[in-house]
């Protein structure tokens, strides 16, 4: 090893002795500089704030003091304080991303302690979609002779037909909708653009809404006063439409789940669905695949000839 390499390694290990809180701040700054979405930055900030507080209480003040035992103790503490498996797994992901970033940033050659700590197991539970009956009931409340009714009908169908996330749907501008049904999602999760699609029924509903909205540039979904519809406005609309018909209000994400499950049950291949949903990996999509596996079980439970004897 050359003298220069030895000096650099000494400097790097010296930096590892700096306060843990300082390194967390640097990591958050790096996420922001890299263009991470505000929700992602918030996720890391909140999770690592808890990890920092726990570490400080254990007299762990620097990167070099973090060991596999410290990380395991953190996960046990999360369990003892009532965090469910999904919650513990989210903390693990945040700490893992942070630890890997630090080791890369410092070019450390010592083993990264996070690699010796197993992620908490998370049971794959069915993800409930909005039911077709609920969607139909909500659509029936939309008076398409008014702007609000025409907009709400088009928006309900748009959410179900595209599988777009709430933030993505609200960010669509009118020029990003092609008359043939292609819709550009300019900034999906991770700021990655993709194209989704709407069918003839949704396009017809959208044209009816545009007769009220007009074709002026800007956000596709507008309020009655002409302002862009916000995410909270969308949630309020869903609650209002559900209340009109006496059904339980679905969340925007339940429309995305319904889209995913309907596509899988229709035989759409998993890679195409991954692109349509904007998932960076198949990990999340596996939960939908698991749910379609339950269809066979439910069908058997309902029609088993042996059970009906």
Residues serving a catalytic function are 165, 189, 253, 256, 279, 288
Are 161 and 236 in a shared domain? yes
- pLDDT per residue over 74-122, tens digit each? 999 999 999 998 899 999 999 999 999 999 998 888 899 999 999 998 7
- pLDDT per residue over 119-173, tens digit each? 998 766 667 889 999 999 999 999 999 999 999 999 999 999 999 999 999 999 9
Are 142 and 282 in a shared domain? yes
Say which residue, 285 or 63, is predicted with more confidence: 63
Domain count, the chain: 2
What's the pTM value of the predicted model, to 2 decimals? 0.67
Alpha carbon 185 to its chain's center: 15
Q: Is residue 296 part of a domain?
A: no
* Contact partners, residue 262, CB within 8 Å, separation at least 6: 129
Highest mean pLDDT of the ranges 26-35, 119-128, 287-296: 26-35
Q: What is the CATH number of the domain that holds 101?
A: 1.10.150.130
Range of the domain at 164: 132-290
- pLDDT per residue over 1-22, tens digit each? 444 443 434 445 567 788 999 9
Q: Is residue 298 part of a domain?
A: no
Are 106 and 137 in a shared domain? no
Distance CA 91, CA 144 (A): 46
């Amino acid at each position: 090893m050359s003298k220069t390499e030895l000096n650099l390694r000494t400097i790097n290990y010296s930096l590892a002795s700096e306060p843990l809180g300082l390194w967390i701040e640097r990591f958050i700054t790096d996420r922001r500089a890299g263009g991470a979405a505000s929700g992602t930055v918030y996720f890391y900030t909140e999770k690592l704030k808890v990890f920092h507080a726990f570490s400080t209480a254990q007299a762990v003040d620097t990167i070099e003091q973090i060991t596999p035992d410290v990380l395991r103790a953190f996960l046990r503490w999360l369990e003892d304080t009532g965090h469910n498996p999904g919650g513990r797994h989210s903390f693990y992901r945040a700490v893992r991303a942070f630890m890997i970033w630090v080791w890369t940033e410092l070019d450390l050659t010592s083993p990264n302690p996070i690699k010796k700590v197993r992620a908490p197991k998370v049971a794959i539970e069915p993800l409930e979609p909005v039911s077709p009956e609920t969607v139909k009931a909500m659509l029936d409340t939309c008076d398409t002779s008014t702007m609000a009714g025409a907009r709400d009908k088009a928006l309900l169908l748009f959410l179900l037909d595209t599988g777009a996330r709430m933030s993505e749907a609200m960010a669509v501008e009118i020029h990003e909708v092609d008359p043939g049904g292609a819709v550009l999602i300019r900034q999906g999760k991770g700021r990655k653009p993709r194209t989704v699609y709407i069918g003839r029924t949704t396009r017809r509903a959208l044209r009816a809404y545009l007769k009220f909205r007009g074709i002026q540039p800007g956000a596709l979904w507008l309020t009655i006063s002409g302002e862009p519809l916000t995410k909270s406005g969308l949630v309020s609309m869903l609650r209002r439409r559900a209340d009109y018909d006496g059904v339980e209000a679905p969340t925007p994400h339940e429309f995305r789940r319904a889209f995913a499950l309907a596509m899988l049950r229709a035989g759409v291949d998993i890679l195409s669905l991954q692109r349509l949903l904007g998932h960076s990996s198949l990990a999340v999509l596996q939960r939908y695949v698991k749910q379609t596996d339950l269809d066979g079980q439910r069908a058997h439970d309902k029609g088993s000839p042996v059970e009906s004897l």
